[in-house]
Structure 1
Amino acid sequence: MTQKLTETILRVVERAPQWVRRDLDSKDAIARIRAEESLAAMIADALGKRTADD
């Protein structure tokens, strides 16, 4: 199960839009928080879909 979880998260991170990647490294706290929240939502969505498929 851990391997499948890791693979799911990795796929999401690999597909993350460029603005998310850029903003995760931003010195602007608001931009960084927005990117973190967006990435978390993308991961949660992928995990939810994976769970529904299992």
Structure 2
Amino acid sequence: MAQRAWVAEPSGSASRNWMRMLCREAGFEPDIRFTTDDLLVQQQLVADATP
């Protein structure tokens, strides 16, 4: 998971802060390449990236 590109809500949002905290606790900094608060767009980005 640490090597993959990530999608997240905009900076300062509670969900983005929570996700970054969990990743850091797991020992890595997420590579957030996409930012959107539209959950359907997030879902499509993940689906497109999933092998």
Q: Give TM class, smaller chain.
A: 0.3 to 0.5
Q: TM-score, normalised by structure 1?
A: 0.35
Greater helix proportion = 1
TM-score when normalising by structure 2: 0.37
Higher strand share: 2
Task: Tell which structure's C-alpha radius of gyration is larger.
Answer: 1
Higher relative contact order (CA 8 A, sep 6+): 2
